[in-house]
Amino acid sequence: MCLSTPTTNEAGNSASCSLGVACNAARTENAADSQLKHRSQVATATHTKESTKLDDSLGFKEENAIYKEHASKQQQQEQQQQQAAAVDYNPQIRWPDLGAQTFLHVGALYGVYLLCYAKFYTFLWVAATILFSGIGITAGAHRLWSHKSYHASLPLRILLCFMFTIAGQRDAYTWALDHRIHHKFSETDADPHNANRGFFFAHVGWLFLTPHPKVIEKRKVIDMSDLEADAVVMFQRKYYIILFALCSIVLPVMVPWYFWQESLWMSFWINFNMRFTWTLNVAFFVNSVAHMYGNKPYDKNITPVEAPIVSLLALGEGWHNYHHVFPWDYKTGEFGNYTLNITTGFIDLCARLGLASGRKSVSPDMVLRRAEKCGDGTRFLSDEYAHKDQVWGFGDCDLPREDIVELVKMQS
């Protein structure tokens, strides 16, 4: 029943009363609201279901509101803690280590001077011990014990341990531990010789400065169980001081004095200081030069580079961009013959003699995929298809089709 005054339309027909219109409109709005509400509930239920599914896949539940609400806060707090830790770290000079490095390097310069007056056999001897001990570093501490890139028999492990001890670069266990950390956390605060702290630090400064707290922290978590099960490595670690004195000082110095009556004074400065310092610096060129100056054919997003001159001096260890991408490859490089990778030749020889086995390498397809995806392009400069995608300019028929379409649109 209409309680308001009826109205008449232009056709003379009695129209609905205004209240009736309002009632109908209200009912229409209520129906629309009800439908929207229903859709909202369905959407909410669907979102909740999807959210729950996502939550389950991420490993937490919807009801765990603390995780969601405070995730950003926790990240901010972690960043602040990291910044605070970085600020709190104040490297200190370890004076005994600095004194040792100063003695070695100054004495090495004196040894170079004395080498001009030494006997010819002394020159041959120091060259032989540098090569011999260098193989102990590269084939032993590095490729075998740090990266497990091949298997070595007991006689070969004993020989490599002896060769490495002559080099005098700490025991193999400690060397491998820091090197594994270097690969896992390269160019971060946890890297023992972080190249981002400058050439001098990466080369030699890390030896006499207190390590970053993160280095100490990571030394406790790296898996070293394989070396702990190696009796040769653990024997060297236990008796390292005695072995170092005998193998790195007494043996190299006494042989020239005893067999061809070289001056003991000259022999000490040449065959200990000069030899030791040469080996030390060549090995650390890998930490400094090979992390700063060169191409990055396999991964342009990391610091290590390809440094042929370092490979020549360090017996094949300068192909460093490749090595950090494929650290399990026993060759530590893709290209280069034995001239620029003597260590690979040594390992191959040992394999022929039955002393080494299980040499691990990378397939050409794997190398190409990584170089195409991440490299700086220099890997392909020598390939037959190096310039297949290059064009001479606008109008070249080798322009990609999508580029041509976009250029036409831009001109229209």
Angstrom distances, CA of residue 318 to CA of 197, 306, 352, 353 = 20, 6, 25, 27
User: What pLDDT is attached to residue 152?
Assistant: 98
* Mean pLDDT value across residues 331-339: 86
CA 334, 338, 343, 349 dihedral sign is positive
User: What pLDDT is attached to residue 53?
Assistant: 45
Q: How do the residues of the chain divide into helix, strand and coil, expressed in percent and rounded to 5?
A: 65, 5, 35
User: What pLDDT is attached to residue 378?
Assistant: 87
**In terms of pLDDT, which residue wins out, 14 or 66?**
66
User: What pLDDT is attached to residue 75?
Assistant: 66
pLDDT band (50, 70, 90) for residue 92? very high
- Chain segment 16-33, per-residue pLDDT in tens: 333 343 444 444 445 545
User: What pLDDT is attached to residue 380?
Assistant: 81
**In terms of pLDDT, which residue wins out, 20 or 311?**
311
Q: What is the mean pLDDT of the chain?
A: 84
Q: Can you give the pTM of this predicted structure?
A: 0.75
Based on C-alpha coordinates, what's the Rg of the chain? Answer: 35
CA 197, 203, 207, 213 dihedral sign is positive
Beta bridge pairs of residue 356:
152
Nearest to 336 by CA among 311, 359, 313, 314: 311
